[in-house]
Structure 1
Amino acid sequence: MSRVVEALRSEVVGWWEGPYDPRTITVLLIDGDALVWDEESGWRCGRYVIGDREHCTILTDTRYLGGGLLLTPERVPDAIADARAGLGNSTAWRPCYRSYRHYRDGFDRALNGYLAYA
């Protein structure tokens, strides 16, 4: 997450981990939008309504960024721009890449590999 925040630089107001499964992370942006990642459907962006460490983040005008669960941090700013413009792989439909209940599907290993990429 810190690498995504770093890639977004001055656009970030703050970020936090969500309250429970599936694993989620919210990045609040200076323009009132937010970027949310969860381990089932990847990244989405939209207008921030409400949410914090104890309550799931709610967005309006949500667009999913596409590109799978683990976009490289450097790709996230361009993916947000594409989603806002209605371009690329972005969609209003929620993709489902996996279920957080599948503990042995290799996702945690992929996360470890993602960390090694740093």
Structure 2
Amino acid sequence: MAIKHVEPYTDEWVQQPISYVQQVVDALSTEVADWWEGPCDPRDATLRLADGAALVWDEESGWRLGAFVSGGRGRHTELSGIRYLGHGLLPRPERVPPALDDARAGVGASSAWRPCYRSHRNCRDGFDVALGFYCVQV
């Protein structure tokens, strides 16, 4: 399977994470009350959970859980009481629900330690190729 190269900062590039996030939403099923994509620099997405918490993914630190403070479509989300889920930048969607359960149980790094797997400014580091694996080809 050939992965299409997506030019940075095009509309297609900005929307590239949507397929991955949608697969995570599908894996979490009824736990997700709403979700939206954020802006870029870094690209991110927010999942509002049915219990009132929120999961945020960004292209530098992966997934984090916390209490929703503020945010919305096209804006970065602010959380309090953050706990990072770990498992890398793009854990397989089916691995996110158990990682969420672990974070709720207190497993994982608290907000004192923010993982930084990459810089969003490095547009040629291979991340977009990995992200492209989750893109739905029509």
TM-score of the superposed pair, with normalisation by structure 1: 0.91
User: Radius of gyration: which is bigger?
Assistant: 2
What are the residue-to-residue correspondences of 1:1-118 with 2, within 5 Å?
1-87=21-107, 90-92=108-110, 93-115=113-135
Structure 1: segments with no counterpart, 5+ residues: none
Cα distance in 2 between the residues matched to 1:20 and 1:52: 13
* Percentage identity across paired residues of the two chains: 61
Cα distance in 2 between the residues matched to 1:14 and 1:37: 14
Structure 2: segments with no counterpart, 5+ residues: 1-20
Structure 1 residue ranges (4+ consecutive) displaced by more than 4 angstroms after TM superposition:
none
What is the CA RMSD across the aligned residues, in angstroms? 1.2
TM-score of the superposed pair, with normalisation by structure 2: 0.79
Greater RCO (CA < 8 Å, at least 6 residues apart): 2
Cα distance in 1 between the residues matched to 2:76 and 2:131: 22
